[in-house]
Structure 1
């Protein structure tokens, strides 16, 4: 006869389940630790790849010219040479460069953001013929290199008499297809019940856009705005082509002017000028990185 199997009373636990859980295999634990170590090592290498050049730039901006070429390198400059920033500012008319960059960046980025918002709203909430085809054609324009349109834009600006003017600097780059795409994808994730309720209450498109849709798109608006600001601030080729006087140059062109003025001798001043150009965008990113991460991860992948 087979051994009798004891029956468990109601509420009684199985003694076989009361023991400790089976130990994990040592090989699996070792593989998990190895993968974690390799992941951290890869992150450290990637971080150093970006941080070391930036640190070298900022440290070289406060070094003596001879210390920049010193080997082994001097990683901690002491005493700092703050005079490099004054030499850079005096060697080139950075006051004109800074004012021009601020005007071009603020006005150009604002126009880009407004255009992207209006276009994205139209593609999501309006009905018009061949809407999907127009959207695909606009996305296809992202595949065209910007250098292809330089000659056409220059001829257009010359015919309009806008060479060496703020209009010539700003208007050719007043549209942002990439920003429109990001905002459109984010608007597709918004609940339609809110906009439908607003339409029932008699709200028009402009009221829905500015009072309902855009406030809910704040993370993506910040993302698109930062992208537009960085794009306008760092633009080099177009300002170099469309301006022909020093008084209308922007900061990236000012670095080229500074290098030609200083030659290859005073690299401390050149590095200080580079810090003047790069520092505002670094500060802007540090203050907006949380909104950028939220905007890019919330709705940019929804079709």
Structure 2
């Protein structure tokens, strides 16, 4: 190949790479705008009176009255408490049960182990909404309807967490097990002192997914709860869409920001740790 042809080929390759990078940048900006525009509208509407929120008046005064109205219109303190207890309860149960199950699948071979793990993977293919009726019947038989336990119990075992942790545990050399046993460590001590520390990025990544999902979960808590004492934030928001005088968008946006605010704030404060956890965990 002549020097001119080689130079031309390199130029075309460089142009292709540049065009691809430019298209990726444009697509990223478009996706960012699609995400930020509804949030910007919600912020503008929440901090302005109802008669101003429907038009773009940059000179309009900002106010916190919508947040006061939303806080007084519903027992938000109780909703926040219920949501935090629920999220913490589900996450704690998922981490404990998934760790034990993943360790058993990764390090023990027993009759039917492959079939059992295949059944765990099948759960990932089943939409949770399909199990609403069966879960409600089970919670009713257990007397857990309209309780925080009834909301969280169907989610205590996570197939996603079992899969992630099993893959991580299988990548840990067995020599570490043998070295720990020589030192007199029991099986649970090996799990706690060897496997769990090495899987911290996976635990962090899964915790972010779990907290985000159950903080925003709406349909199952709506079905299983009947009273204020057990409702989470997402179900409590529906009180603002059922006012007889019409939908008050300013109040709804204020209530929505109070609901999603903790997650947004946590992401802004810990976004570097979030990204690093997902990268180290190998989650695409």
Matched, 1:193 2:175: yes
- What is the correspondence of 1:1-303 to structure 2 with a 5 Å cutoff? 29-70=14-55, 73-74=56-57, 78-261=60-243, 264-300=246-282
Residues in 2 aligned to 1:167 and 1:281: alpha-carbon distance in whole angstroms: 23
The higher radius of gyration belongs to 1
Superposed displacement of residue 292, structure 1:
4.0
Residues in 2 aligned to 1:289 and 1:113: alpha-carbon distance in whole angstroms: 22
Instruction: Map Cα deviations across residues 60-117 of structure 1 (whole Å, 9 max, x no partner).
Output: 21122123322xx45x685222111111011112122111111111111111121111
Superposed displacement of residue 269, structure 1:
1.1
Local SS of the residue matching 2:242: helix
Instruction: Map Cα deviations across residues 250-295 of structure 1 (whole Å, 9 max, x no partner).
Output: 1001111122237544211110100111111222333444444344
Residues in 2 aligned to 1:236 and 1:123: alpha-carbon distance in whole angstroms: 32
- Going from structure 1 to structure 2, the CA distance change for 1:187 and 1:287 (only over 3 Å counts) comes to farther
Q: Is the 8 A contact 1:92 1:261 kept in 2?
A: no
Residues in 2 aligned to 1:138 and 1:32: alpha-carbon distance in whole angstroms: 42
Instruction: Map Cα deviations across residues 42-75 of structure 1 (whole Å, 9 max, x no partner).
Output: 22112222222222222221122123322xx45x
More helix, by proportion: 2
Segments of structure 1 that go 5 or more residues without pairing to the other structure are: 1-21
Of residues 218-227 and 165-174 in structure 1, the stretch that sits farther from structure 2 once superposed is 165-174
Residues in 2 aligned to 1:291 and 1:192: alpha-carbon distance in whole angstroms: 29
Q: Is the 8 A contact 2:46 2:251 kept in 1?
A: yes
Residues in 2 aligned to 1:265 and 1:77: alpha-carbon distance in whole angstroms: 25
TM-score normalised to the size of structure 2?
Answer: 0.88
Aligned residue pairs total: 278
- Going from structure 1 to structure 2, the CA distance change for 1:204 and 1:42 (only over 3 Å counts) comes to same
Residues in 1 aligned to 2:114 and 2:252: alpha-carbon distance in whole angstroms: 49
Segments of structure 2 that go 5 or more residues without pairing to the other structure are: 1-5
Residues in 1 aligned to 2:129 and 2:101: alpha-carbon distance in whole angstroms: 24
Superposed displacement of residue 146, structure 1:
0.9
Q: Is the 8 A contact 2:241 2:252 kept in 1?
A: yes
Task: Tell me the residue number matched to 1:3.
Answer: none
Local SS of the residue matching 1:163: coil
Superposed displacement of residue 30, structure 1:
4.2
Residues in 1 aligned to 2:43 and 2:80: alpha-carbon distance in whole angstroms: 19
Of residues 25-34 and 243-252 in structure 1, the stretch that sits farther from structure 2 once superposed is 25-34
